[in-house]
Amino acid sequence: MNRHLIEGMARAGKGDPFIVTNQQEARETAERFSDYIRSPVLTDIKIDCEDFDAYAIEPPQSGDLFAERPILIYGKYNNPRAG
């Protein structure tokens, strides 16, 4: 097993790695994975910075939102904002 490869693929796909290290964990991990992929809360998310001078937004495209999994978006903006 190459844990580094699995974790890298999960990051690239904007997901979470599900790793089984022994047979006793297999069923529980498979159920967690099945629950995870079958329950997106929000899909096709677009970040709109219109009328807001934002730049260096990361990641440039957001993945789907799944229950109990946050979406983290970072960026910078020019000019102070209020409200």
The 10s digit of each residue's pLDDT in 17-42 is 888 888 999 999 999 888 888 878 88
Domain containing 22 equals 1-38
Question: Is residue 29 domain-shared with residue 61, that is, in the same domain?
Answer: no
**Residues 78 and 46 both lie in one domain:** yes
Pair (29, 51) in one structural domain: no
Same-domain pairing of 46 and 13: no
Task: Evaluate whether 55 touches 30 at the Cβ level (below 8 Å).
Answer: no
Q: Strand ranges (DSSP E) for 22-78?
A: 40-42, 54-58, 65-66, 74-77
How confident is the model at residue 71, as a pLDDT? Answer: 83
Domain count, the chain: 2
Express each pLDDT in 45-74 by its tens digit. 888 888 778 899 888 887 788 877 788 888
Q: 45 and 81 share a domain? A: yes
| pTM for this prediction | 0.52
- H/E run at residue 35: helix 23-38
SS3 79: coil
d(CA 73, CA 62): 8
